[in-house]
């Protein structure tokens, strides 16, 4: 439901951004199910600074920026902490920049957490979303051997182009793997754990299936002996430096946001439905009147 709200008033250390494009994420569609008075979604925005922070921090008025506000980014204006902003060059369009924050930050920080460097064998489940595409390109560029699990060949096509070996069931992944990045949950997690090398790590960063997970302690002795399971969440301000890294790699042609849908903001409801039903590969971006 669309409604008019007051233009946000930036607090200390915040800039007011006129939003040109914002990305919507599948996880946000589930957040819409809960009643949270006063809360509005939106964590990925790109646009113009129209009011710089009163403390002098961050970009000046007129700067093109990408931002990661804590909420309320699905709007014409957003108040964004200056520590969560990065400037974008003219060569990076606003819809492309808007696809970077949540998925890109998660992938970049997952790369560090997994230690995916040259020769590391990595298994990534639920790989066909925005995070999966970013992670695959970043990890492959670092020399890691990435195996990506996708539901269909079509959803895995671009991942293969980015350097991943693509399978459509965890059982088909030729392990063992030094690191398994698991975002599906349900019965996939224990099957993915079985692919971890002795002493390796499973990093649990999502629950897309929204089903409970049951693990058998004795299953560790069938292969992933002495393996560890780690919970991961990308959050942790400031985000600006990592956003700047993502922008730099994109501008240099070393990172290619996979944007499965770009549409006008009036199509929000249809895009959210298609995203939730997995009819969009990669990111979905909605635009307002300007896409500079």
User: Does CATH number 3.40.50.300 belong to domain 105-231?
Assistant: no
> Which string of b and e fits 253-274 if b means at least 16 CB within 10 Å?
eebbbbbbbbbebeebeebbeb
165 forms beta bridges with 147
Helix, coil or strand: residue 221: helix
CATH class as words, domain 14-100+257-287: alpha beta
Contacts with 44 (C-beta within 8 Å, 6 or more apart), sequence order: 22, 23, 24, 25, 68, 73, 98, 99, 100, 101, 102
Identical fold for domains 14-100+257-287 and 105-231, yes or no, is yes
- In the chain the first and final C-alpha atoms are separated, in Å, by 26
Question: Domain map of the chain by residue range?
Answer: 14-100+257-287, 105-231
Burial of 240 (0-12, 13-18, 19+ CB in 10 A): buried
- Specify the DSSP element, H or E, that contains 27: helix 26-31
DSSP 129: B
Per-residue pLDDT of the chain (292 residues; tens, 9 = 90+): 567 888 889 999 999 999 999 999 887 777 776 777 777 889 999 999 999 999 999 999 999 999 999 999 999 999 999 999 999 999 999 999 999 999 999 999 999 999 999 999 999 999 988 999 999 999 999 999 999 999 899 999 999 999 999 999 999 999 899 999 999 999 999 999 999 999 999 999 988 878 889 999 998 998 899 999 999 999 999 999 999 999 999 999 999 999 999 999 889 889 989 988 888 888 899 999 654 4
- Upstream peptide bond of 14 is cis (omega within 30 degrees of 0): no
17 forms beta bridges with 49, 78
Placement of tokens 């299936």 in the chain: 209
């Amino acid at each position: 439901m669309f409604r008019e709200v007051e233009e946000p008033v930036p607090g200390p250390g915040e800039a007011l951004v006129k939003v040109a494009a914002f990305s919507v994420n599948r996880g946000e569609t589930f957040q819409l199910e809960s009643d949270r008075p006063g809360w509005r979604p939106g964590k990925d925005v790109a646009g113009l600074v129209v009011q710089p922070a009163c403390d002098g921090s961050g970009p000046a008025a007129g700067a093109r920026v990408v931002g990661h506000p804590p909420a309320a980014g699905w709007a014409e204006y957003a108040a964004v902490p200056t520590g969560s902003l990065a400037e974008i060059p003219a060569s990076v369009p606003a819809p492309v920049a808007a696809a970077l924050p949540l998925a890109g930050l998660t992938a970049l920080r997952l790369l560090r957490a997994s230690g995916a460097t040259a020769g590391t064998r990595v298994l990534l489940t639920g790989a066909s979303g925005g995070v999966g595409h970013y992670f695959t390109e970043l990890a492959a560029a670092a020399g890691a051997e990435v195996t990506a699990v996708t539901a269909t060949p079509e959803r895995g096509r671009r991942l293969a182009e980015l350097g991943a070996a693509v399978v459509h069931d965890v059982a088909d992944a030729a392990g063992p793997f030094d690191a398994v990045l698991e975002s599906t949950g349900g019965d996939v997690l224990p099957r993915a754990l079985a692919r971890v090398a002795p002493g390796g790590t499973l990093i649990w960063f999502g629950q897309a299936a929204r089903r409970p997970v049951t693990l058998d302690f004795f299953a560790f002795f069938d292969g992933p002996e002495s393996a560890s399971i780690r919970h991961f969440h990308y959050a942790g301000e400031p985000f600006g430096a990592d956003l700047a890294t993502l922008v730099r790699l994109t501008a240099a042609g070393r990172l290619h946001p996979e944007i499965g849908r770009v549409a006008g903001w009036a199509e929000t409801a249809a895009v959210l439905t298609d995203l939730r039903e997995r009819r969009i590969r990669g990111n979905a971006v909605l635009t307002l009147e300007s896409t500079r």
